[in-house]
Structure formats: structure tokens, C-alpha cells
Amino acid sequence: MANNFLGHHLFQFLVLSCFFFMAVAATKPRLLVEKTHLSTISVQGKPTAVEYKVYNVGDAEATHIFLDDRSSFPTQEFTIEKGFLYVQFPKIAAKSNLTHVVVVKPNKMGSFEDKPARLTFTDPKTGVPEVVYSTSMGKVSVYRQKEYNYVFGSKAEHFLKFALIVAPLTFVPLGFAIRSKNRYTLVKKSY
Ligand SMILES: *[C@@H]1O[C@H](CO)[C@@H](O)[C@H](O)[C@H]1NC(C)=O
């Protein structure tokens, strides 16, 4: 009887340990990378910031993290004003994030292809490196300073002229919409 009791507990213990080791083995780092161009419009010769956010959504630490975005900003076409396009972080804890910013200046007008940045990291438990890619903006237009000033002129005068032109186009339909909504409400009430 006592023997049987002990056997039962030993079995339970073994099953529980098994689950425990399976759970430990299943914890692993999982990284996601989000790339954002902080200015929505790129202008030739004007510095623009690019931000990389690395999230570890896994439940274990990642080590030996290398972020590489040199293919998006080749040095013949861009000047790196600040930061590095190839950078290493020693580690990123589970459920945490880090941010990296690079300031680049497009040397030419036209357009360029913003490619996904490549990130490699290691799961310290297995020592196996993994590769993930960031989001990317795809095709990005680079305007000439003159075009930029003309279209997005920062002068207040420019803005006012623009506002005067678009105001009727914006507010007249809005007026119609409000009036017809009132009419609709009245009709509905009379029932
Ligand atoms: C990123 O990490 C900081 C602390 O380092 C934390 O305050 C913030 O909430 C985290 N953001 C996300 C989206 O996880």
C-alpha cells in the first residue's frame, strides 16, 4: 500500500518535471523590427532621421544583436550625418525594446528603394543565430529643395493662399452635409 502511494507520487513528480523542462525549453527570444522615416518627405541635401525599434516579444533574452541597414542607404547616394547603419547591441531582455536612430542626407533627387533592415541575434541557450527583417517604406521620393519650398512652402503667406483656395472646397460640402443631415433628422422625427 505504502509502496503504491510512493509510486504514485513519483509518477506525478516525473510528469511535472517533464512539463517544467518542456516549458523552460520553449522559452525563446523573438525579435521584431520596425523602421520608420521620421520625416514623411525627403529632400535632397536635407538631413532626415530614420528610427529602428527592436522589440523582444519572446520570453527569453536575445544576445549578439546586429542591425544592418547599409543596403538601404548606399554611401554614394547618402551621407550619414549621425549614427551607424551597422550597429551591435550586446543583449535585449525578454519583453523589452530598444531604439536606434540614424540621420541620413540624400545626395541626389529622384527616388530610392527603402529595403528592410537585416537583424541577426542569438538565443544564448542554443547559441544558434537567427535572422529577421524590419518593415520598410518601399519607394521613397527625394524632392529638390526648390520643389519642396514650392509645394510645402513653410512661409505663412504660402499657407494662407493655399487655405483660401481650399476653404470653399472643404467647407461648402460640409455645409451641405450638415443641412441634409438636419433635414434627415427632421423627417425621422416626424414619424
Ligand atoms: C519600451 O521600453 C520602455 C522601457 O525601456 C517601456 O517604458 C516602453 O513601454 C516599451 N514600449 C513598448 C511598446 O513595449
pLDDT in tens, the chain (191 residues): 556 666 677 767 666 665 666 665 578 999 999 999 988 788 999 999 999 999 999 999 999 999 999 999 999 999 999 999 999 999 999 999 999 999 999 999 888 899 999 999 999 999 999 999 999 988 888 988 887 777 766 665 666 676 777 776 666 666 666 666 666 555 555 45
Which residues lie with the beta carbon below 6 Å from any ligand 1 atom?
A: 96-97
CATH, domain 27-152, list 1.10.1370.40, 2.60.40.10, 3.40.50.11310, 3.30.565.10: 2.60.40.10
Instruction: List phi, psi (to 5°) of 93.
Output: -70, 165
Residue 105 CA, ligand 1 centroid: distance in Å? 29
DSSP state of 116: P
Residue 38 CA, ligand 1 centroid: distance in Å? 19
**Alpha carbon nearest to ligand 1 atom 11, residue:** 97
Please state, as a whole number, how many other Cβ atoms lie within 10 Å of the Cβ of residue 112: 18
Residue with cell 523542462: 21
Question: How far, CA to CA in Å, does 176 sit from each of 72, 172, 181, 185, 190?
Answer: 48, 6, 8, 14, 21
Q: Say whether 173 sits in a helix, a strand or coil.
A: helix
Close Cβ partners of 128 (under 8 Å, ≥ 6 residues apart): 122
Residues recorded for the chain: 191
Residue 87 CA, ligand 1 centroid: distance in Å? 20
What is the Cα 163 distance to its own chain's centre? 33
Please state, as a whole number, how many other Cβ atoms lie within 10 Å of the Cβ of residue 137: 17
Could you identify the atom of ligand 1 that is nearest to the CA of residue 95? 14
Residue 98 CA, ligand 1 centroid: distance in Å? 8
Are 88 and 65 in contact by the 8 Å Cβ rule? The answer is yes
Q: Which of 32, 56, 96, 99 to mutate to test the pocket of ligand 1 (most atoms within 8 A of CB)?
A: 96
- Grid cell in block for residue 55: 522589440
Please state, as a whole number, how many other Cβ atoms lie within 10 Å of the Cβ of residue 42: 21
Q: Say if pTM beats, i.e. exceeds, 0.75.
A: no
Give the pLDDT score at 114. Answer: 92
**Dihedral (C-alpha) 123, 126, 131, 133: value to the nearest 10 degrees?**
-30
DSSP state of 40: S
